[in-house]
Structure 1
Amino acid sequence: MIDVNKLLDLLTYQKDDPILFNSAFFFYFFAIFLLFYLAVGRSKEGRVWVFTVFSLYFFYKACGYYVGLVILSAIVDFNLSRWIYNTENNTRRKGLLALSIVLNLGLLFYFKYTDFFIGMINDMQLGKIQPLHLLLPIGISFYTFENLSYTIDVYRKEFPPVNNFMDYLFFLSFFPKLMMGPIVRAADFIPQIAKPYELNSEDIGKGLYLIMAGLFKKVVISDFINQNFVQYIFDDPSKHTGLECLLGVYGYAMIIYCDFSGYSDMALGIARWTGFKIPPNFDSPYQSSNITEFWRRWHISLSSWLRDYLYIPLGGNRKGKVRQYINLGLTMLIGGFWHGASWNFIFWGGLHGTALAIDKVRIDWLKKKGGGVGGLGGGLLKFFGVLFTFHFVCFCWVFFKAATFHDSWALLHQVFYDFQPGVWLELYNGYTAVFWVMLLGFVLHFLPRKSEDLTEGMLAKMPVVASVVVMVIFIWLLVQVKSSQPMMPIYLQF
């Protein structure tokens, strides 16, 4: 007999158990969604309605009644964009755009930064305000930026507004990218809605590869390293030797990449299976030989958004070198603040902004000199460039991950003043599996692109039945090694 209470608990929002791509409930959700979606596959309106309803339910399962914020945001920006587009008076158009920016950022600031500024006021003894302890709606940072890019593009007349509200709600609520991105531009997504739903072997193979790769990164690599080693280090760095702390930082570098890029891969794969192509969000970022290249490869949708809607409007590189460096610094400071209401994130953004400005000086110097070094010398420079860039990024991750500045400096203090390399063998014996999984993660990360293309090609050549069998076997194997409790994705908090 069916236990109604358990069924209701399963189907309704549970604060401590939100829906995740790597949770058992999601596989049932996705299977049922696919059945309905395939049933209406020939109807554009049917696909939009099925996808939107399932997306809103997905969001409800992720953060409860905050699903209303997505609907409200869609209503506001759908109408404001149309008014902007149809208004010829420039002053009124600017006013409507300003209203859209204020409403979107106001909503984001209220939920994400109110307690941060209350804390600042209290710390400076300018008042005694009780913090609101607001629950951050999942995905608000991502769909806020999507709303802003849409209205700004319409204002610039780069993209005409949609005429059908359901199309816009579908775009904004699209569940594969709703919780953790990528940040998708309306101009890239909305034109695909009207296209017939057709899948070829490449779509099936690519989607299957991305979903399996994403699950492997998240469940096998990220969760395992985090749960069995890194979280102990960052809980209290002062209790660990410098060698342990350094390995913990290397581990976190792999964790945050596999966690976030894993979810992005799954989003791209699910979208591909449903007839949509979303631009990639990561491109082997730790292979970068300088910090400028790193930001072309890391969280591509955010870095390109900041470039197009913040850095360039600030003046970009059009107002002299000094102004360019200031613009880079401001852009990255704001990018750091976007990640969360914490001085650690702001400092992290400031470090990257400073590094980008210095790298621009290097690039300009090389241009004046007539280019880089070729041959063996160029290869060595690239190798050491990758090594330096990776360690600079890892240094910055310390501030990104640590709960406080005190913890950040405590970890760095251990690395520089209490390294104790002699504990290596004892450490290896205690965390053998963790270190091998870390090594596996880095080896896979540095494999050439050809290996990925080869795997995708093999999967694309398989018949549909074989693809289903491979997916089922892969999920069964995943269940055998995954932790009993799904670990929350890192970027869920942003």
Structure 2
Amino acid sequence: MNRLYDIFTFSEDFPLIFTQVNFWIFFAVAYFIFALVYKKVPLRNAYLFLISLFFYYKTSGLFIGILIFSTLVDFIIGRTIYKSESKNKRLILVSLSVCINLFVLCYFKYAYFFTEAFNTLFNTRYEVFNILAHWGNSFSDQNYFTIDKIILPVGISFYTFQTISYSVDIYRKKLKPLASILDFGFYVSFFPQLVAGPIVRAESFVPQIAKPTVLSKQHFNTGTFLILKGLIKKMLFADFIAMHFLDRVFDTPEMFSGFANIMAMIGYSLQIYGDFSGYTDIAIGLALLMGFQLPVNFNSPYKAINAGDFWKRWHISLSTWLRDYLYIPLGGNRTGSYASYIILSIIFLGVMIAFRNMIIVYSILLISLTLFIISLYNYKLRNHINTNINLMLTMLIGGLWHGASWKFVIWGGLNGLGIVVYKYWRKISPYELNNQWYAKAWKILITFIFITFTRIYFRGESMGHISRWYKQVAHNMDWANALDLLIHYQAVFWVMLVGYISHWLPQHLKQTIEDLYSKSPVALKVILAAGIGIICYQAFSSDFQPFIYFQF
């Protein structure tokens, strides 16, 4: 009875996440009922919408109200856009949708970030006050909501981008609006991908909503294979190495050698891949078991041969969303726009606030002014500048999407800089056209090192924390005890080695393994699933290990 109570009531200690038994009990019950209703499309959609709302309630409690609000707003605006024949009215409506969604996102995610920036700029001491919580408490004598802080709802960045894509796709006449609020609610809240993606574009998912469910043997085989693979990635390649090594180093980098800090960063690249890719694999697998196709979100990102290639392989649903709904509207690789320069000016202002170093500020202004003057007389240079500005803005905003901190902006900027530098380096690179295995291996290694060590700004809790990491690496490598470290944490490093080897396996070999699984008898699949479950939960800790991307 206690287990059932935990499943059907909200508790911060027992959220429904894919690595906990409660989720699989929930899914077993939900899937049994789904099997009874899936042949009737309207009933199926309504059922999945309601069960998804319950899932989100279990994950976020009363923040379910924000999800319902976003659903209602964009459903109404989407239908109004479609019915309107006035171009200006359509533009106003889609702008309204974008503004409302971004306002909600900014309120919950960036309130502290903007307040701190304002206080720094104007030398004030304002503190965050949760107006919505205060308003909510006014309806009751009980103070259900905390007014002195704003808590980030799980998954708000993901479903906000989904609802924006719905309104924009209708505005662009790529899509007709859904007739039923239940159908639209199902699109927004479909529980496998609700809290950590992949970001589902309206134009790809909405057409599936009206189609009858087709459940095939291939769906079952691929779905269960992805689920098992996802559990291995999350619970072994992510959680195990994090709990037994990475978290200890990152919590107190000054207590470990520079060598240990470097190995922790290499491990972190595996952890964040295993965590996020593992979640995506499970989400896609669950959706397939219900007859729905979610977009591929990862394509062996550490096989990338340059920074641009990496972002075509990593978090594909986000990078393509930013390309289609931000980079191209800003002008893409063709030209600049007023929006480009407005956003750039805001970011420059933010850099001044963040660094408070006049040498850096004057250097940036001098470089910008010089490039601007030269571009007035050189069309080709102006085109290069505009293209690179749009690219850098996209990566900077992509960094800020991940977290409300300047360190995320720096991380996004470094990745953007890596893409820009490679654009010009490839024109003079002596091995760019070399297709030999060693040349490709060299490109992959350089890209992996670059991506890995930019992530110190992603993982570090603060700029002070990051500076301590750099200090250890610069002044205390302690090579003499490197072997002792490897031996002491040998279980972690063996898991890391297996994780990276499995990642770098040739694609045809990975496909062969999946084909063998698909062709195996059901009894063998059951034994394999039981074995993987035992291994994963033997390595599991009683400590709660949420998915990293829940915070975004």
Counterpart Cα distance in 2 of 1:470 and 1:476? 10
Counterpart Cα distance in 2 of 1:131 and 1:405? 22
Counterpart Cα distance in 2 of 1:166 and 1:405? 45
Counterpart Cα distance in 2 of 1:31 and 1:432? 38
Task: Give the 3-state SS of the residue equivalent to 1:360 in structure 2.
Answer: helix
Task: Give the 3-state SS of the residue equivalent to 1:135 in structure 2.
Answer: coil
Tell me the amino acid that sits aligned with residue 206 of structure 2: I
* Structure 1 range deviating more: 166-175 or 424-433: 424-433
Shift of 1:14: 1.0
1:149 correspondence with 2:212:
no
Match of 2:389 among 314, 326, 336: 326
Instruction: Check the 8 A contact 2:199/2:318 in 1, yes or no.
Output: yes
Partner of 1:396: 454
1:436 correspondence with 2:497:
no
Partner of 1:301: 317
Shift of 1:271: 0.6
Tell me the amino acid that sits aligned with residue 226 of structure 2: L
1:102 correspondence with 2:162:
no
Shift of 1:331: 0.5
Tell me the amino acid that sits aligned with residue 37 of structure 1: F
Shift of 1:288: 0.6
Match of 1:276 among 292, 298, 302: 292
* Structure 1 range deviating more: 144-153 or 451-460: 451-460
Tell me the amino acid that sits aligned with residue 358 of structure 1: V
Counterpart Cα distance in 2 of 1:117 and 1:294? 31
Output one character per residue of 1:55-75: Cα deviation in whole Å (capped at 9) or x when no partner.
110000000011121121111
Tell me the amino acid that sits aligned with residue 413 of structure 2: G
Match of 1:347 among 405, 410, 415: 410
Tell me the amino acid that sits aligned with residue 70 of structure 2: S
Alignment of 1:77-92 (within 5 A): 77-92=74-89
- Structure 1: give runs of 5+ residues left out of the alignment: none
Change in CA separation of 1:455 and 1:138 when aligned onto 2, cut-off 3 Å? same
Task: Give the 3-state SS of the residue equivalent to 1:312 in structure 2.
Answer: helix
Tell me the amino acid that sits aligned with residue 58 of structure 2: K
Instruction: Check the 8 A contact 2:6/2:14 in 1, yes or no.
Output: no
Tell me the amino acid that sits aligned with residue 373 of structure 1: L
Task: Give the 3-state SS of the residue equivalent to 1:265 in structure 2.
Answer: helix
Tell me the amino acid that sits aligned with residue 390 of structure 1: F
Alignment of 1:360-399 (within 5 A): 360-363=423-426, 372-376=432-436, 379-399=437-457
Instruction: Check the 8 A contact 2:7/2:26 in 1, yes or no.
Output: no
Instruction: Check the 8 A contact 2:270/2:500 in 1, yes or no.
Output: yes
Shift of 1:125: 5.1
Change in CA separation of 1:65 and 1:445 when aligned onto 2, cut-off 3 Å? same
Partner of 2:118: 121
1:233 correspondence with 2:235:
no
Change in CA separation of 1:394 and 1:374 when aligned onto 2, cut-off 3 Å? closer
Match of 1:453 among 511, 515, 522: 511
Partner of 2:275: 259
Tell me the amino acid that sits aligned with residue 474 of structure 2: F
- Structure 2: give runs of 5+ residues left out of the alignment: 130-148, 336-382
Task: Give the 3-state SS of the residue equivalent to 2:455 in structure 1.
Answer: helix
| RMSD (CA atoms) | 1.7
Counterpart Cα distance in 1 of 2:33 and 2:527? 21
Output one character per residue of 1:271-297: Cα deviation in whole Å (capped at 9) or x when no partner.
111101111101111111100100000
Counterpart Cα distance in 2 of 1:316 and 1:416? 39
Alignment of 1:34-45 (within 5 A): 34-45=31-42
Shift of 1:170: 0.4
Partner of 2:361: none
Output one character per residue of 1:427-477: Cα deviation in whole Å (capped at 9) or x when no partner.
122111011011111011101112321222222224555544543443233
Shift of 1:250: 0.4
1:410 correspondence with 2:468:
yes
Corresponding pairs, count:
486
Counterpart Cα distance in 2 of 1:449 and 1:243? 32
Instruction: Check the 8 A contact 1:119/1:131 in 2, yes or no.
Output: no
Counterpart Cα distance in 2 of 1:163 and 1:464? 41
Task: Give the 3-state SS of the residue equivalent to 1:71 in structure 2.
Answer: helix
Partner of 1:161: 177
Instruction: Check the 8 A contact 1:58/1:175 in 2, yes or no.
Output: yes
Partner of 1:22: 19
1:290 correspondence with 2:306:
yes
Shift of 1:408: 1.4
Counterpart Cα distance in 2 of 1:472 and 1:41? 28
Match of 1:137 among 142, 148, 153: 153
Instruction: Check the 8 A contact 2:115/2:126 in 1, yes or no.
Output: yes
Instruction: Check the 8 A contact 1:201/1:461 in 2, yes or no.
Output: no
Task: Give the TM-score taking structure 2 as reference length.
Answer: 0.85
Counterpart Cα distance in 2 of 1:165 and 1:445? 41
Change in CA separation of 1:374 and 1:176 when aligned onto 2, cut-off 3 Å? same
Instruction: Check the 8 A contact 2:388/2:420 in 1, yes or no.
Output: yes
1:485 correspondence with 2:485:
no
Tell me the amino acid that sits aligned with residue 353 of structure 1: G
Instruction: Check the 8 A contact 1:12/1:61 in 2, yes or no.
Output: yes
Task: Give the 3-state SS of the residue equivalent to 1:161 in structure 2.
Answer: coil
Instruction: Check the 8 A contact 2:161/2:199 in 1, yes or no.
Output: yes
Instruction: Check the 8 A contact 1:202/1:457 in 2, yes or no.
Output: no
Task: Give the 3-state SS of the residue equivalent to 1:210 in structure 2.
Answer: helix
Task: Give the 3-state SS of the residue equivalent to 1:387 in structure 2.
Answer: helix
Instruction: Check the 8 A contact 1:329/1:353 in 2, yes or no.
Output: yes
Change in CA separation of 1:462 and 1:194 when aligned onto 2, cut-off 3 Å? farther
* Structure 1 range deviating more: 481-490 or 176-185: 481-490
Counterpart Cα distance in 2 of 1:205 and 1:7? 30
Shift of 1:385: 1.1
Counterpart Cα distance in 2 of 1:188 and 1:406? 43
Tell me the amino acid that sits aligned with residue 434 of structure 2: G
Residue identity (%): 41
Counterpart Cα distance in 2 of 1:23 and 1:125? 47
Counterpart Cα distance in 1 of 2:207 and 2:105? 27
Partner of 1:426: 484
Shift of 1:45: 1.6
Instruction: Check the 8 A contact 2:238/2:274 in 1, yes or no.
Output: yes
Shift of 1:425: 2.1
Partner of 2:108: 111
Counterpart Cα distance in 2 of 1:452 and 1:168? 36
